[in-house]
Amino acid sequence: MFLELDGQGPRHGQLTRALKSAILGGRVLAGSRLPATRELAVELGLSRTTVLAAYEQLHAEGFIDSRTGSGSFVAHLRAPADAVLPTPPSEVPAPSAYTTRMREGVDRPLGRRHRGLRYNLQYSDPLIQPALCSQWSRELTRAAAYTETGYPGSQGLAALREVLCDYLARRRGVVAAPDDVIIVNGSQQAYSLCARVLVDVPSDENGLICEELPDCSPALILATPSHQFPGASILSSPRRLALLRYAYEHHSWIVEDDYDGEFRYDVQPLPALRALDHTDRVIYVGTFSKVLFPSLRMGYMVVPKALREDFIAAKWLNDFGSPAIEQAALANFIADGGFERYLRQAAKSLKERRDALIEGLRLYAGERIEVFGAPAGMHLIGWLRDLDQTRTEALVELAHNRGLGLHTIRPFYMNPPEREGLILGYAGLPPAEILEATRLLGECLDEIG
């Protein structure tokens, strides 16, 4: 079996990408039997452990099926028969008027009401550990001693972009060059830059001109495939392929917000959507607000080559560049392994908190709440059985009076879901307090009836 490894990162990752490319490119057809692990290991000069790891990752991602006693077979991805993604065209879709001008030279916060309560199941609160604050203080002191005091480059420090490329290739399957990465002030600035570079929004003195909005071929599609917000679902491999093909056929760009892709529990992690993108349509956005702490206000973008210079120019026009000392501190934190050590500790703590929330809901809410979206992230959805909107609002008010912050899912939908639900964040409270919070929730459910 001819497979060409790309030489990027660990051997099992290279083999995974090579097999995936062969499947997506149609060189290995759906239903075909793959070589036995020992056979392929000998043929490629790899260890059997390497081949096993690649097969296990492909099975977790839904690319192959394992049949006991028969071997491994290429899965039917349920994409259209002609779903092999074509080679990207030499021409790219026209940018916005904002981008054209550059080339020519030229709400209300949600959840605030519950601040200060004893138990707040706030979905946006990250996990914070005292050891991280102490370590970050040391990194800042060290970085301040050698960071240049002039304006930083608008694209971000090269050292940080380089270590991010290594990290993304190993942990998220995203292969990128440092020149493709732009350091931004959190994912919110990434969204702002995407809108400025790619989207024209018609408006007049009365605001948005709805009659001029396009009825097809959107310029920009925002997706959270690793852990959808707010619904907490994970986008399947077939749907990822379908989304990529849609973007190609409609000349659209995709913004992939991988806001908590590092955290998975009891399931194999899926690679980022950009890792499957062969047409360079995906703008990958990552943030340190959730994995470290919000006050850092730092994130990053991996942008398509066709848009690289446009985004760099837009970032420069926006603020000249993100703070250099924090970038240098973060680069060193990642380079010396501290960041990934912290991620492992954080994932363990988050799993304990998630388990406490699930157990507490089982003990005190029983069949009255259906749990959804538990395998990943820092929040899950609790769908309420037999409660309408009025009684759900009464539940939230009663809980608030008892010192418990609850947050409904309704404000995050343009069209309300068919049933009422709660977004239950578990990163901000330790397991014992989460259990107490679910006990209070159970009491409130009892009173609402």
Query: Do 149 and 327 form a contact (C-beta atoms < 8 A)?
Result: no
Q: Answer yes or no: do 360 and 417 share one domain.
A: yes
pLDDT of residue 87: 62
Residue 1, domain member (yes or no): no
Residue 122, domain member (yes or no): no
Q: Answer yes or no: do 181 and 161 share one domain.
A: yes
pLDDT of residue 107: 38
Dihedral, 50, 52, 53, 56 alpha carbons, nearest 10: 160
Q: CA-to-CA distance for 311 and 309, rounded, in angstroms?
A: 5
Residue 117, domain member (yes or no): no
Q: Answer yes or no: do 24 and 163 share one domain.
A: no
Residue 422, domain member (yes or no): yes
Question: What is the CATH classification number for the domain harbouring 395?
Answer: 3.90.1150.10
Q: Answer yes or no: do 282 and 371 share one domain.
A: no
Q: Is 278 helix (H, G, I), strand (E, B) or coil?
A: coil
Residue 113, domain member (yes or no): no
Provide the H-helix boundaries in 92-157. 97-103, 130-146
Q: Is 314 helix (H, G, I), strand (E, B) or coil?
A: helix
pTM above 0.85, yes or no: no
Q: Answer yes or no: do 144 and 253 share one domain.
A: yes
pLDDT of residue 445: 95
Which range marks the domain in which residue 70 is found? Answer: 11-74
Q: Compute the chain's Rg from CA coordinates.
A: 24
Q: Answer yes or no: do 320 and 360 share one domain.
A: no
Residue 210, domain member (yes or no): yes
Question: What is the CATH classification number for the domain harbouring 56?
Answer: 1.10.10.10
Instruction: Copy the structure tokens of residue 211.
Output: 């009659």
Q: φ, ψ for residue 65 (rounded to 5)? A: -115, 135
Q: Answer yes or no: do 102 and 206 share one domain.
A: yes
Q: Answer yes or no: do 330 and 355 share one domain.
A: no
Structural domain total, the chain: 3
Q: Is 265 helix (H, G, I), strand (E, B) or coil?
A: coil
Q: What share of the chain is helix, strand, coil (3-state, %, to 5)?
A: 45, 15, 40
Residue 208, domain member (yes or no): yes
Q: CA-to-CA distance for 193 and 187, rounded, in angstroms?
A: 10
Per-residue pLDDT in tens (0 to 9) along the chain, 449 residues: 778 888 888 888 889 988 988 888 778 888 888 889 888 888 888 999 899 888 888 888 888 888 877 889 998 876 544 445 556 666 677 777 777 767 766 534 445 556 678 888 877 666 767 788 788 888 888 888 878 767 678 899 999 999 999 988 888 888 899 999 999 987 878 888 887 788 767 655 444 455 665 667 788 888 888 877 777 778 888 888 888 988 898 888 999 988 777 787 877 767 789 989 999 999 999 888 888 877 787 899 999 999 999 999 888 888 888 888 899 999 999 999 999 998 889 889 999 999 999 999 999 999 999 998 778 888 899 999 989 999 999 999 999 999 999 999 988 877 788 899 999 999 889 999 999 999 999 999 999 97
Q: Answer yes or no: do 190 and 234 share one domain.
A: yes
Q: Answer yes or no: do 252 and 370 share one domain.
A: no
Domain end residue (candidates: 340, 371, 397) = 340
pLDDT of residue 404: 94
Q: Answer yes or no: do 326 and 385 share one domain.
A: no
Question: Measured in Å, how far apart are the chain's first and last C-alpha atoms?
Answer: 63
Domain end residue (candidates: 340, 373, 398) = 340
Q: CA-to-CA distance for 303 and 57, rounded, in angstroms?
A: 26
Residue whose C-alpha is closest to residue 111's, from 429, 424, 441: 424
Residue 434, domain member (yes or no): yes
Q: CA-to-CA distance for 398 and 405, rounded, in angstroms?
A: 10
Q: Answer yes or no: do 348 and 333 share one domain.
A: no
Question: What is the CATH classification number for the domain harbouring 319?
Answer: 3.40.640.10
Domain end residue (candidates: 340, 362, 390) = 340
53-61 long-range contacts (CB < 8 A, ≥24 apart) are 53/12, 53/16, 54/12, 54/13, 54/15, 54/16, 54/19, 56/268, 57/12, 57/16, 57/268, 58/16, 58/19, 58/20, 60/267, 60/268, 60/269, 60/270, 61/20, 61/237, 61/268, 61/270, 61/271
